[in-house]
Chains A and B, each alone.
Chain A
Amino acid sequence: MEQTSNPVYTDQRMGQSRELFYYYDQDGRYVKKVGFHGEPTRVILQQAWDTFAERSEAARQKVLAGKASPIVYYMEKIFADPMNLAMMAGIPIWKVKLHLRPAFFKRLSERTLQKYAQAFNITVEQLKKVE
């Protein structure tokens, strides 16, 4: 993932994509107009990205302190929860929950690590350490 996980909208128009909007006007007509998203969308999207950034930063601190396994950090980075991750990696959820602890993470086999790495779209070496 090259792009930052928190796109800051330098432009008021929020990116370059224009979309089609429907309106219902006073005369009882449905009007289609192409335009940019308004303020409410920007606020709620910004809120979402802020929350994700906060969560991933908190997870990073936890991993660096040795209280959680690197999987926690990478999981938060792609905004997944254990259930999503279980579906993505093809590992039962109760196992995923165990692997979130450092002690169980150390005992993981190469094959399981490969599965996780594939789900996160990174290499196994990257998965083992968090900087």
Chain B
Amino acid sequence: MEKKNVMINYTHRQAGHCESGATSNLMNFYGVEMSEQMAFGIGTGIYFSYLPFLKLMFAPMMSFRNFPNTVFHRTMKYLEIDATVIKKFNDPKESMDALDRNLDKGIPTGCQVGVFNLTFFPPEYRMHYNMHNLVVFGREDNIYHISDTVMETPHILTYDDLLRVRWAKGAFAPKGKMYWINNVKKDIDFKTGVNKGIAKSVYEMIKVPFWLVGIKGIRVMAKDIKKWPKKHGNEKASFYLGQILRMAEDFGTGGAGFRYIFGAFLKESGEKYNHDGLLEASDMMGKTANKWREFTYIGARNCKNRSKPEEDYGMLGDMLREIANMEEKVYQRIDKITLS
């Protein structure tokens, strides 16, 4: 079958977080003004989980972001927009054909990919990480045009490369997952979306009855950090600490684990609907995020001098505990808020 060349007029804007960036760009393509932080907040991108029994890259696994595709899916659900998510394909070829059909119709399509074989990515980031998102918006012969919101400019990938990253193996394998917006209605009710997004975020951060998720997870991690040097030795303890920092620093926002974006979301919705409580909470969140960044700076000093730690791990644990307390107050503050 002859493939004709397609080029969709899609605006690429850089963002701090891959999935919320992709969601907001897709919404802008359909003529709805939506900033990145709005998509992040409504789609409840904020999250924390600590799973020490699972190992990712030889160190305990933790996540500062929600599971793949939650942001897009929830944004669409809460704003009641007609969108399609195909969770998995059985056959790689079929997934690429579906993508081609979408491009022929002129629909920019988002895909979940693995980072390890992504050719345009900076080599220092190519680790096994299967939760990355990008948007395909054009095709010329065998070359696909990609908008990756983490990068500054759009990039290109060949057919084989795109197929390989869409079928990356391992934990959270994408299996060719793709998503797109069908059509957008005229009057979108952002207020309800914000309400639902805040309620869900608060639930996930402080109300989940499981001790490794949310604020409770941060507290468990703070307790564990203190034990690491004795249990594993200084060398390994600093590698584990590095893992925390890598996950927090991992792309954009610079070491606060997406807390800045959530704060910006609270600020924007507070200004939009003139709500003092949200503005107050956004100020608290900004300070928490600054504290996270300070934690990264101090922790990195330990990683630099591996065998002789400059800072005491007990101090780092206490700091993390303080951060957890600060963050908990933010969620308790916005818990009761309902915009009317």
A interface residues (Cβ-Cβ under 8 A, vs B): 3, 7, 9, 14-24, 28, 30, 32, 34, 37-41, 43-45, 47-49, 51, 55, 78-81, 83-84, 87-89, 119
* Stretch of B186-194, B216-224, B253-261 contacting A (4+ beta carbons < 8 Å): B253-261
**A22 in contact with B128 (CB, 8 Å):** no
Q: Given A24-B286, A48-B57, A30 and B246 touching (CB < 8 A)?
A: no
Are B169 and A45 in touch, CB under 8 angstroms?
no
* B264 with A30: CB separation less than 8 A: yes
CB distance from A95 to the nearest CB of B (A): 16
Is B290 at the interface (CB under 8 A from chain A)?
yes
Residues from chain A with Cβ under 8 Å of B282 in the complex: 30
Stretch of B64-72, B119-127, B312-320, B327-335 at the chain-chain interface: B119-127
Query: When A19-B251, A30-B260, A30-B286 are in contact, do A40 and B152 touch as well, CB less than 8 Å?
Result: no
Are B170 and A22 neighbours in the complex by a CB distance under 8 Å?
no
Q: Are B263 and A20 in contact (CB under 8 A)?
A: no
The yes or no answer to B6 lying at the interface (CB within 8 A) is no
How far apart are the CA atoms of A57 and B85 in the complex, in Å?
43
Number of A-B contacts (CB under 8 A): 120
A-contacting 9-mer, from B23-31, B42-50, B297-305: B297-305
B150 at the A interface (CB under 8 A)? yes
B161 at the A/B interface (Cβ < 8 Å)?
Answer: no
A4's nearest neighbour on chain B, judged by CB, is B123
How far is A122 from B172 in the complex, measured between Cα atoms in Å? Answer: 23
Task: Give Cα distance in the complex from A38 to B301, angstroms.
Answer: 13
Query: Are B263 and A81 in contact (CB-based, < 8 A)?
Result: no
With A47-B306, A119-B169 known as contacts, the answer to whether A21 contacts B253 (CB < 8 A) is yes
Min CB gap A30→B, angstroms: 4
Contact A3 B123 (CB under 8 A): yes
CA distance A51 to B283 in the complex (A): 39
Which B residues lie within 8 Å of A18 (CB)?
A: 152
CB distance A44 to B286 under 8 Å? no
List B contacts of A119 (CB < 8 A): 169
A41 pairs with B58, CB closer than 8 A? no
A37: chain B residues at CB < 8 Å are: 249, 254
CB A10 to nearest CB in B, in angstroms, measures: 12
* B238 close to chain A: CB less than 8 A: yes
Return chain B residues, CB-CB under 8 Å to A43: 300, 303-304
Given contacts A24-B287, A34-B152, A47-B239, contact A15 B58 (CB under 8 A): no
Per-position contact with A for B78-112: 1 when CB-CB < 8 Å, else 0? 00000000000000000000000000000000000
Residue B154 CB within 8 A of the other chain: no
Residues of B within 8 A of A (CB): 14-16, 37, 55, 57-58, 116, 122-125, 127-128, 150-152, 169-171, 173, 238-239, 242, 245-246, 249, 251-256, 260-261, 263-264, 267, 282-283, 286-287, 289-290, 296-297, 299-300, 303-304, 306
Chain B residue at minimal CB-CB distance from A5: B123
* Chain A, residue nearest B117 (CB): A121
Known: A30-B264, A83-B55. A40 touches B169 (CB 8 A): no
B-side contacts of A19, CB under 8 Å: 14, 16, 150, 152, 251-252
Residues of B contacting A9 in the complex (Cβ-Cβ under 8 angstroms): 124
**Do A49 and B264 touch (CB < 8 A)?**
no
For the complex, give the distance between the alpha carbons of A89 and B55 in Å: 18
Given A22-B253, A84-B171, also A17-B296 (CB < 8 A): no
Q: In the complex, what residue of chain B is closest to A16 when comparing beta carbons? A: B122
Q: Are A44 and B300 in contact (CB under 8 A)?
A: yes
Contact (Cβ within 8 A) A48 B304: no
Which residue from chain B places its CB closest to the CB of A33 in the assembled complex? B254
Residue of A nearest to B126 (CB): A3
Is the CB–CB distance between A79 and B57 below 8 Å? Answer: yes
Contact of A21 among B151, B252, B299 (CB under 8 A): B252
Using known A-B contacts A14-B124, A39-B300, A87-B173, determine if residue A81 contacts B55 with beta carbons closer than 8 Å: yes
Given contacts A3-B123, A48-B57, 10 further A-B pairs with CB under 8 A are A15-B123, A20-B14, A20-B252, A22-B252, A30-B286, A32-B16, A45-B246, A84-B170, A88-B169, A88-B170
Q: Are B128 and A17 in contact (CB under 8 A)?
A: no
